[in-house]
Amino acid sequence: MKAYIETSGCQMNENDSERIIYLFEREGYNRTRDIEKSDLIILNTCTVRERAKNRLYGHIGNLKRLKSKNNDILICIGGCIAQNLKERIIEDFPFVDIVFGTHNIAELPDLIKRKIAGGKSICSVRDDGYDPDIFKVKREYDFKAYVPITIGCDNYCSYCIVPFVRGKERSIEKNKIIKNINMLACGGVIEVTLLGQNVNSYGKGLDDKCTFPQLLEEVSDIKKIRRIRFLTSHPKDFSKDITGIMKRRKNLAKHVHLPLQSGSNRILKKMNRLYSREDYLNIISNIKDNIPDCSITTDIIIGFPGEKREDFVKTLDMVKKVRFARAFTFIYSPREGTRAYKFKDCIPMKDKQKWFRELLDIQNMISLEENKKFIGHKFEVLVEGRSKKGTCMMEGRMENNTVVNFRGSAGLIGKILSVKITGAKSFYLMGKLD
Ligand code: 5AD
Ligand code: SF4
C-alpha cells in the first residue's frame, strides 16, 4: 500500500507531516511521491491566508477524478483548514474520507482503520491541546531536524487565525527536548531548528521552570549539534539574553527571523503586536552591535484595514533602516473569526498591490546589495540537496541562512564545507567549493 502526502504552509506543518509519515509507515504504508499511484492521499493544509484555502479547494476538486477511477483510495484532509472548517469540508466534498484536525494527528491510524471497515466519511477535530510525541517522527533529512518547543499561540494578533487553529500555547518539557536533541545528535543530525509561534515565550506553565534563553544554553551544550536555529521570534518577547547567548555560543546560527508586520505604530497597535517601531529598532541595534554578521529576516503585511499611505511609508522606512536580508511580504487577507475581520477596510486592492510591488522592489534591491557583500569571501555551507539551478549543481545554506548554489555531487549532502562566493542574486548566492 502506498501513501502520498502534500504539505502546505509553515515549518510546524512540515514537522506535523513528518509525524504523519511515521504513523502511516508504522501501519504498513510506503511513501510515494506519485499521487496517481497512491492508496492513501493526505493533504496537510494551511489557512493563514485565504489564497491557501482557495488553492486547496481547487486541489480537492481535482482529487475527485482519482476517486472516481478508484473508489478504494482514501482521501484525508488534515492541518489548519481541517481544524478551521471541520465538517464543512465533507459537506463541500462528500468524496473526502477523513478530515482530521491539528490536535488529532495521533488518531489518524485509527481513523483510517475505521474508514476502511466501512461507513460514512469521518470528521475528527478536537481542540483540547494535543501535545505531539516529538520522538515519533519520520524525518525528511538525516542531517537536520525540526524540534517543536511550543505548540499553539496566545498572542492573538488581530489578523491571525493561528491561535484559533493551533490552540493555546503549550511548552514541551525541557527534559524531553534535550533528550530528543541528544538522540538526534547521536543519529548524525548536525542542525536543529527549534520551532514555535513565539519561541521567546517558551517555558510558560511548565512545572520545571525554564526560559527560552536557558533552553538555548542547554541545547547549545550539545556540541555535536553544529547549528542551532529557532523560529519564530516575537519582538515583544525578544530579550537581550538571547543576543548575549548567540554572541557567546558558536553553535547558535547567526540568524534571527523577527516579524515586523508594520512600521507604523498606529497599525502595530491595531494589529495587537504590543511593541512600537522604536522597540523594534532597539532590538535590531542590540543584535547588530553584538553580532555584526547576524542576518535578520522578517514578515511584513501590506494593506491592513485602515492603513494609509503614510503608514505604508513608515514600513518602507523601517525596511530601509534595518536592511533585512530577506522579507516575506504578504497582502492582508481577512480571516473569519479574527478581530481584524470586522475592521473597516476601505483601501482598494489595486492600491495594496501597488504598495506591495513598491515594497518588493526596494527589498529585493536591499537583499541584492547585502548579498553582493559576500562575494569573494569564504563561508561554511551545509549542503542540503540538489539545486534547481542546473545539473551537477548543489544547494546549501550558510550559517546566516543564505542559500548558496555551487557545482558538486550528491555525495556532499549533509556535510559542512567551505565555499567561496562568486556571485549574488536577491534570493541566493553562487559559489565554488574551496
Ligand atoms: N493576512 C496576511 N498575512 C498574514 N500573516 C498571518 N496572518 C495573515 C493574514 N491574515 C503573515 C504574517 C505572519 C506570517 C506567517 O503570515 O506576516 O508572520
Ligand atoms: Fe499569529 Fe501573532 Fe501568534 Fe504569530 S504571534 S502565530 S502572527 S497570533
pLDDT digits (tens, 9 = 90+) for 306-333: 999 999 999 999 999 999 999 999 999 9
Mean pLDDT value across residues 56-62: 88
- Ligand 2 and 328: CB distance under 6 A: no
Orientation of helix 240-248 relative to helix 277-290, angle to 10°? 20
Residue closest to 157 by CA, chosen among 347, 338, 342: 338
- Closest ligand to 153 CA? 2
The pLDDT assigned to 427 comes to 96
Share of the chain above pLDDT 90, in %: 91
Put simply, whether the predicted model's pTM sits higher than 0.85 gets the answer yes
**DSSP letter (8 states) at residue 370:** H
Give the distance from CA 397 to its chain's centroid.
Answer: 16
- What separation in Å is there between the alpha carbon of 157 and the centre of ligand 1? 9
pLDDT digits (tens, 9 = 90+) for 254-303: 999 999 999 999 999 999 999 999 999 999 999 999 999 999 999 999 99
- Closest ligand to 260 CA? 1
Mean pLDDT value across residues 10-21: 95
CA distances in angstroms from 223 to 91, 146, 186, 217, listed in the order given: 52, 17, 11, 11
- Ligand 2 and 153: CB distance under 6 A: yes
Across the strands, what pairs with 395?
385, 405
Residue closest to 302 by CA, chosen among 369, 354, 225: 354
Q: How confident is the model at residue 415 (pLDDT cuts 50, 70, 90)?
A: very high
Look up residue 26 and give its three cell numbers. 508504522
Average pLDDT, the chain: 95
Q: How far apart are CA 311 and CA 125, in angstroms?
A: 40
Mean pLDDT value across residues 201-224: 95
- What separation in Å is there between the alpha carbon of 150 and the centre of ligand 2? 13
